[in-house]
């Protein structure tokens, strides 16, 4: 038996992985740097709610917690676009009625997962212990107790590094110089800051509840997701510098108010503590991390953000991390009956299958950054969205937009979704631009034209890239 597992990081990915592996009978030690979030008040200004969609729900379903998680969800049927005059229009995420994304509280979901993990007799959870170093070849890690400062070393048969975007485990792999480790980290020129639209005095939502609200302004953008208590968590995405409005220039409450009054006039009255929150809450960076290999010596594997942190513009970081657990579990199924699991082979097989997909969602998320802040406000993109929504409503089995392929069609991989979705986007934009999609054509004729053009683009790509 080599089934003693150490999981480092009890965030979203680590908790789900611990739960699933415990259900499979492994002996788990789950170690988390922070205090137990069920027992402490939450930090203000950390990403409070997230968009949960089909790939993430599949992971929760695998571990039997989907129904409980759904109780924390608020369906968001589309993007509610707000222009500078305060006009709004709802752009549905899909033409299919049953396709929507969900707003869910990050701590709420994490607590639910920890509650479930704690019910398992074969899991030990240790909080307040930060991983300081990892002995990669011998599968042991050393942790520092935040309170006593004492160090403890824990050994296992296999270690999973699920300690998030700034992973200490990954840093140990990078710095070990014991094997070739590729690593890239790319920062956006924008950072983010969270603000709050509180519930009204009688506990109601101050704007439409069932949408992801977007105020696209070219270089900057505001979004808001609903919470169960009637409030919205608002996130401002703004350049750090080199722009009229940027974090470096917004240095006084007057400037912040002037900026919001000009760019987001309909929001100002909804955020009573605007300047206080703007200066009180931290500004977070946004980056993409890619690395390889994810495993070291068949003793350790990176998963979730530790392996592939992405920018949040497709709302897929957590979803991808939960999908990691699903993909890993499918491969584990093949090995689970072995008396002595060949972790090395398992880890390699997992990375070979998964890496191209997490690379794809990382690239799609950067694309969507531009689409959300600029394109959602442009006429040709609005026309494209309308057409795609009509295709999906009228021909639900035949057409999936790129957004739907990524967000709702978990039966295909991110890399397939990227390939087909990009070709479709190019096809529709070309056809609209060339005036080949004419008003007098039936919707079916328009769809056939888009399909033909898409296939031609896919074919050309295959010829070009082999
Ligand atoms: P994390 O959730 O970061 O968990 C890592 C855990 O490891 C934490 O508990 C941390 O305390 C612990 N840890 C760190 N270092 C150590 C150490 N040295 N020792 C022990 N423990 C350690 N994703 C979506 O799917 N939808 C969204 O709408 C969405 N919105 C986002 C908005 C923003 C602004 C940001 C920044 C991210 C967003 N994401 C979204 C991405 C999502 O938050 C992450 O992909 C997800 O949290 C990854 O889960 P994880 O468990 O890998 O990492």
User: Which of the listed residues 30, 282, 318 should we mutate to test ligand 1's pocket, taking the one with most ligand atoms within 8 A of CB?
Assistant: 318
Position 129 scores a pLDDT of 98
Cα separation, 163 vs 14, whole angstroms: 8
User: Which of the listed residues 211, 312, 354 should we mutate to test ligand 1's pocket, taking the one with most ligand atoms within 8 A of CB?
Assistant: 312
Cα separation, 50 vs 58, whole angstroms: 16
Number of helices followed by number of strands (H, E) in the chain: 15, 19
Please tell me if the CB atom of residue 34 comes closer than 6 angstroms to any atom of ligand 1: yes
Quote the ligand 1 centre to 164 CA distance (angstroms): 5
Position 361 scores a pLDDT of 98
Q: Closest ligand 1 atom, CA of 34?
A: 11
Residue with CA nearest ligand 1 atom 53: 164
Strands (E) in 243-381, as ranges, are 283-292, 295-296, 300-302
Evaluate whether 302 touches 7 at the Cβ level (below 8 Å). Answer: no
Please tell me if the CB atom of residue 423 comes closer than 6 angstroms to any atom of ligand 1: no
β-strands 129-135, 140-145: how paired? antiparallel
Please tell me if the CB atom of residue 164 comes closer than 6 angstroms to any atom of ligand 1: yes
User: Which of the listed residues 6, 12, 126, 211 should we mutate to test ligand 1's pocket, taking the one with most ligand atoms within 8 A of CB?
Assistant: 12
Q: What's the pTM value of the predicted model, to 2 decimals?
A: 0.96
Residue with CA nearest ligand 1 atom 34: 47
Cα separation, 7 vs 302, whole angstroms: 10
Please tell me if the CB atom of residue 304 comes closer than 6 angstroms to any atom of ligand 1: yes
Evaluate whether 214 touches 375 at the Cβ level (below 8 Å). Answer: no
Mutual orientation of helices 12-23 and 106-118 as an angle, nearest 10°?
A: 30
Evaluate whether 14 touches 307 at the Cβ level (below 8 Å). Answer: no
User: Which of the listed residues 35, 44, 47 should we mutate to test ligand 1's pocket, taking the one with most ligand atoms within 8 A of CB?
Assistant: 47
Position 45 scores a pLDDT of 43
Q: Closest ligand 1 atom, CA of 167?
A: 15
Instruction: Tell me if residue 189 falls in helix, strand or coil.
Output: strand
Position 379 scores a pLDDT of 84
Residue with CA nearest ligand 1 atom 41: 317
Position 461 scores a pLDDT of 78
State ipTM: 0.99
pLDDT tens, per residue, the chain with 466 residues: 679 999 999 999 999 999 999 999 999 999 999 999 999 876 544 458 999 999 999 999 999 999 999 999 999 999 999 999 999 999 899 889 899 999 999 999 999 999 999 999 999 999 999 999 999 999 999 999 999 999 999 999 999 999 999 999 999 999 999 999 999 999 999 999 999 999 999 999 999 999 999 998 988 999 999 999 999 999 999 999 999 999 999 999 999 999 999 999 999 999 999 999 999 999 999 999 999 999 999 999 999 999 999 999 999 999 999 999 999 999 999 998 888 999 999 999 999 999 999 999 999 999 988 877 766 667 888 899 899 999 999 999 999 999 999 999 999 999 999 999 999 999 999 999 999 999 999 999 999 999 999 999 999 877 766 5
Please tell me if the CB atom of residue 91 comes closer than 6 angstroms to any atom of ligand 1: no
Instruction: Tell me if residue 297 falls in helix, strand or coil.
Output: coil
Task: Give me the torsion for CA of 154, 156, 159, 164, rounded to 10°.
Answer: -30
Cα separation, 439 vs 387, whole angstroms: 11
Residue with CA nearest ligand 1 atom 18: 131
Instruction: Tell me if residue 275 falls in helix, strand or coil.
Output: helix
Quote the ligand 1 centre to 433 CA distance (angstroms): 40
Q: Which long-range contacts (CB under 8 A, 24 or more apart) does 123-126 make?
A: 123/18, 123/19, 123/22, 123/28, 123/29, 123/30, 124/28, 124/29, 124/30, 125/10, 125/18, 125/30, 125/31, 125/32, 125/36, 126/29, 126/30, 126/31, 126/32
Please tell me if the CB atom of residue 130 comes closer than 6 angstroms to any atom of ligand 1: yes
Q: Closest ligand 1 atom, CA of 13?
A: 51
Quote the ligand 1 centre to 161 CA distance (angstroms): 12
Please tell me if the CB atom of residue 8 comes closer than 6 angstroms to any atom of ligand 1: yes
Please tell me if the CB atom of residue 225 comes closer than 6 angstroms to any atom of ligand 1: no
Please tell me if the CB atom of residue 168 comes closer than 6 angstroms to any atom of ligand 1: yes
Please tell me if the CB atom of residue 163 comes closer than 6 angstroms to any atom of ligand 1: yes
Cα separation, 369 vs 314, whole angstroms: 8
Tokens matching residue 396: 């639900």
């Amino acid at each position: 038996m080599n089934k003693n597992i150490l999981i480092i990081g009890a965030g979203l990915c680590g908790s789900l992985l611990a739960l699933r592996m415990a259900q499979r009978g492994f002996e788990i030690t789950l170690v988390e740097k922070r205090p137990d979030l069920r027992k402490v008040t939450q930090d203000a200004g950390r990403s409070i709610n997230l968009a949960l969609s089909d790939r993430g729900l599949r992971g929760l379903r695998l571990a039997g917690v989907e129904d409980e998680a759904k109780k924390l969800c608020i369906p968001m049927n589309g993007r509610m676009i707000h222009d500078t005059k305060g006009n709004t229009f709802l752009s549905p995420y899909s033409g299919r009625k049953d396709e929507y994304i969900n707003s869910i509280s990050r701590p709420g979901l994490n607590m639910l997962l920890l509650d479930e993990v704690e019910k398992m007799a074969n899991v030990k959870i240790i909080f307040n212990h930060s991983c300081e170093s990892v002995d990669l070849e011998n599968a042991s890690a050393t942790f520092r107790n935040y309170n006593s400062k004492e160090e403890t070393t824990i050994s296992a048969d296999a270690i999973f590094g699920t300690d998030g975007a700034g992973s200490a485990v990954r840093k140990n792999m990078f710095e070990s110089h014991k094997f070739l480790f590729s690593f890239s980290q790319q920062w956006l020129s924008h950072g983010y800051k969270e603000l709050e639209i509180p519930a009204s005095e009688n506990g109601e939502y101050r704007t439409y509840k069932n949408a992801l609200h977007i105020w696209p302004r070219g270089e900057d953008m505001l979004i808001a997701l609903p919470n169960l208590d009637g409030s919205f968590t608002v996130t401002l995405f703004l350049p750090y510098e080199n722009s009229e409005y940027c974090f470096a220039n917004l240095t006084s409450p007057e400037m912040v108010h002037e900026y919001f009054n000009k760019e987001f006039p309909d929001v100002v009255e909804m955020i009573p503590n605007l300047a206080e929150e703007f200066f009180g809450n931290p500004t977070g960076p946004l980056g993409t991390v890619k690395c390889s290999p994810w495993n070291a010596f068949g003793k350790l594997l990176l998963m979730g953000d530790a392996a592939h942190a992405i920018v949040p513009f497709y709302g897929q970081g957590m979803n991808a991390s939960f999908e990691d657990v699903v993909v890993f579990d499918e491969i584990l199924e093949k090995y689970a009956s072995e008396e002595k699991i060949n972790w090395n082979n398992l880890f390699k097989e997992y990375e070979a299958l998964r890496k191209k997909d997490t690379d794809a969602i990382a690239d799609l998320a950067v694309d969507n950054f531009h689409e959300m802040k600029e394109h959602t406000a442009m006429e040709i993109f609005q026309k494209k969205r309308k057409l795609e929504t009509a295709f999906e409503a009228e021909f639900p089995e035949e057409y999936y937009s790129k957004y739907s392929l990524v967000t709702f069609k978990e039966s295909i991989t991110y890399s397939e979704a990227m390939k087909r979705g990009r070709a479709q986007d190019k096809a529709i934009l070309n056809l609209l631009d060339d005036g080949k999609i004419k008003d007098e054509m039936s919707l079916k004729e328009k769809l056939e034209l888009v399909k033909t053009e898409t296939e031609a683009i896919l074919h050309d790509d295959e010829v070009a890239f082999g």
